[in-house]
Structure 1
């Protein structure tokens, strides 16, 4: 009965999300186990309907996501930090990238790095392609499928979550991204529905990934030990073992578990990449990498809007739509995870970090593995490799190792990497799902994380029983359709919020007072900065704090909910006005002591900061009347913005 007591302890705000989401997922799992053939047929029929009716929408939406992020990165909005202006990044840059990469699509690269280029080479989407161009066309398609568009999907969700959570102190949940459009209704049925859709899409997308990884691990075990068959039963056993390991990792926590595994993943991936690059046609790999990157960039627009409108083929649904839809299904998970680790980075840094670095590594990966396989098939006539890939995609990576004669150890290394990617995806996925089902809580109960890790393994097993990878693929596409619409609205909400922030900054800058109104004696005195901290301490004690206390008392008499707080170290003082009748953030006027090296001499400043961060105003030597005027004029400017703008966001930044 302990689990029932735990369920009762879920906050009221989470039950409208947790219970419907878990109920729908358990219903899907039960139906899959009871009538696997019927569910498999349902998934197949649904795939055809979705491809025919909504394929254009998914591809067009992904194009909008990429264009939107590029606009943000190259606009003045790019300077906005994810958090208060002075917030520092939580993780070092390379650790941050490793964690993003591990969550993003480590398993996908291992599964498709060899298989996809070879399959496009053997079954080209365009029948009139000349044989001499097949290899290049195959690589271009792979680049397109795993390039900027994939990371634009992740990036949009991640940047929206991080912006509204860290910049405006809203919960780290999908519903928060829609506050500019629906306001407080994010806490009602609309917000609950958004989070439920996100949980369904995330769970099915993760289940697809876990299914792909275990089929590849099964292939590796069969390569090393032929007595182990390629069978669903073996794959489900692998899921059970790795799910238990993921539950151990998720119990350890983000920094000790996922962070360390991510670094291990990147290290193993680089070792594997280097070994294959050296064993393969190294010079040809390098040449094709450079040429294919140039061709990808030059043909990006044409491929983005290519819907094969003048041809009749299942290729688009089986490849482009599946990969994009699978990524969209993964987006709540990856986006929320990236948001969790990105506090303190600017919007521009976030976008460039999410788009440029992982995509560059991805292109190099496909060049090393894909071009090596195509070279062996096309130039060396290794038909056996092509046959094995066509027979079973999961065999592709290990078939390449055999042809390169790298030995048994490289297959073991690859399997170890797939396993660590599986565990990383499962435990970070459980962390995200627990957060989504808890109303965006940054810290969730251990039982919730363990529950979601176990449920992910159970659903992956159930979908494998329903029809193998085909069922997994169609299930992920089905879950992606409603979430595509959610993401389009999310993009509109983000642009509206950024536009309002720009308007707010402009208004506050235009209304902000300066030292120009000080009398000439005070301005002259302020030019001589204090060279000892004692002088600044004396100014705080005798002038600044007393007048701020007097302003605070006067505002309190007039009915404002105002307080004056001084730090324990006495190095800062802050006047705050709370607004208890709305979600509007408090007005903050703070002054902090800061030392700077000016002309080889250390001087001390009494620097003003507001909600939006430091203001480059030094109050030292100002008289009490001037300080009080400065406080009130900033307060007037703050109230004027709140009254004039039609977007009452909680401006905590």
Structure 2
């Protein structure tokens, strides 16, 4: 029987990642030296490509939204949706935000408040620095990041449902490279995307584990150390693999609905019981600054050559989002059947970006206000107990803090499990020659292949889950925030090349729709 595995996709990232794990255990210092050197080379030579690429994706989505392509129905005019809009939106928000938004929403603005870019001449812990901190949260967590997800997802959706495309990234890049070349390089591109995602998932799992280990430590009184971090990572890994094995509808959809309710509940409570008026005032000012400086700060313009702030923060974020983007595209694109391109952009770009702006307004705005009111106490907490502890310091200031902390721990846990769930499903499917588990049973032979395929997919999910968890623990436990950033950059660079190809494919579809529209207009 023909192998169910796509060995060209499965083996290269597997060998590379296992080698990385072994090297980290044999000689951690040497391993970190090598990865740091590679990371520095990427930043020094390709920061401009990350920045300009992110802006290009925003422009591409705007074109798709307002051109005739926006009316095109994914899967054909007779296609019916796989999911309701509510469930679709819940899956999208919970899959794309993950634990990163919970972790960075309170920790990151404090970094910017006390360490603003030298080039901008702002005094630390000043009103201008606070405005810059909040506007930067909008930059890093709203329009551009979700564009980085939505562009490849839309390109894949249009290709996958056009004449029965393959569940491969090569389907989306065929309009750029041609079918023959896309088929030749498709396995390599899928392998690159898998390596990028595993690195990105390890980075994100590290951030989620830091939040959760701080929460568990606060609730139970256990020491927040590398051993507790390892236990937390193991529990998350077991849960997201178990959820993924249970199947899309029972796993991802159910978790997404629960998590969306938790997200909204905790945000409303923080807004109502927090410094509401101050949050609103800060948000309005910061939003104005964000809009006024969007293009220049997206491109890193206005910073001195010696100022490493853009590379340390903005480029890190674009790399982090890009590392997830290709595989997220396979998942989000597959569930978009039956909706128009305009529906897709609204649900996968506009709504998540708006939700993130509201989230950052509440939590980032609150932490900035509280830090001013308590004379820098939260920045001291950041330095003494780590970034994962900051959110719990904020929740301690609100009524029903014990309840809120338990709810938040549940939100952080489900956020990562939901995101990892969907991506583990995509990784396993991408490793296989075809997703025969979705075919209708016709005869005994087909049924036998289905059973074998399902068993192989389960094993793949377990295998990748263990590798991701191991990398996350090593990098987070021994390198902290720097380790998280390195994993993001290492995964983001190859993903950037893949996503740019998909972006050009989407641009071609946009221009084709304009050409068809022009030809259909009768001559005067």
* TM score, norm. by length of structure 1: 0.73
- Classify the secondary structure of the residue corresponding to 1:167: coil
Distance 1:411 1:381 in 2: 20
- The total of aligned residue pairs comes to 500
Query: What is the correspondence of 1:135-284 to structure 2 with a 5 Å cutoff?
Result: 135-185=130-180, 188-226=183-221, 228-284=222-278
Q: Which residue of 2 aligns with 1:52?
A: 44
Change in 2 beyond 3 A, CA 1:158/1:504: same
**CA RMSD, Structure 1 to Structure 2 (Å):** 2.3
Distance 1:60 1:442 in 2: 39
Provide, for residues 91-138 of structure 1, a one-character-per-residue CA deviation record: whole Å limited to 9, x for no partner: 121211110111102311110111111211111114522523221111
Instruction: Say whether 1:360 aligns with 2:354.
Output: yes
Distance 1:173 1:498 in 2: 21
Q: Does the CA contact (< 8 Å) of 2:151 and 2:506 recur in 1?
A: no
Aligned-residue offset at 1:486: 2.1
Q: Does the CA contact (< 8 Å) of 1:32 and 1:466 recur in 2?
A: no
- Classify the secondary structure of the residue corresponding to 2:283: helix
Q: Which residue of 2 aligns with 1:97?
A: 89
Which of these two proteins has the greater Rg computed from alpha carbons?
1
Change in 2 beyond 3 A, CA 1:214/1:129: same
Aligned-residue offset at 1:156: 0.9
Distance 1:151 1:57 in 2: 18
Change in 2 beyond 3 A, CA 1:407/1:505: closer
Corresponding residue to 2:471 among 456, 459, 472? 459
Aligned-residue offset at 1:144: 0.6
Aligned-residue offset at 1:472: 2.9
Q: Which residue of 1 aligns with 2:314?
A: 320
Structure with higher strand content? 1
Distance 2:122 2:323 in 1: 33
Change in 2 beyond 3 A, CA 1:460/1:189: farther
**Structure 1: runs of 5+ lacking an equivalent:** 1-7, 511-653
Structure with higher helix content? 2
Aligned-residue offset at 1:339: 1.0
Distance 2:315 2:105 in 1: 18
Q: Which residue of 1 aligns with 2:12?
A: 20
Q: Does the CA contact (< 8 Å) of 2:326 and 2:495 recur in 1?
A: no
- Classify the secondary structure of the residue corresponding to 2:76: coil
Change in 2 beyond 3 A, CA 1:290/1:190: same
Q: Which residue of 2 aligns with 1:470?
A: 482
Query: What is the correspondence of 1:51-90 to structure 2 with a 5 Å cutoff?
Result: 51-90=43-82
Aligned-residue offset at 1:308: 4.7
Q: Which has the higher contact order (CA 8 A, sep 6+)?
A: 2
Distance 1:399 1:103 in 2: 26
- Classify the secondary structure of the residue corresponding to 1:438: coil
Aligned-residue offset at 1:230: 2.0
Distance 2:433 2:155 in 1: 16
Distance 1:25 1:221 in 2: 29
* TM score, norm. by length of structure 2: 0.90
Corresponding residue to 1:132 among 127, 131, 142? 127
Q: Does the CA contact (< 8 Å) of 1:247 and 1:427 recur in 2?
A: yes
Distance 1:99 1:475 in 2: 25
Aligned-residue offset at 1:283: 2.0
Query: What is the correspondence of 1:376-525 to structure 2 with a 5 Å cutoff?
Result: 376-378=370-372, 380-391=373-384, 392-404=386-398, 406-439=400-433, 441=435, 443=437, 445=454, 446-464=458-476, 467-500=479-512
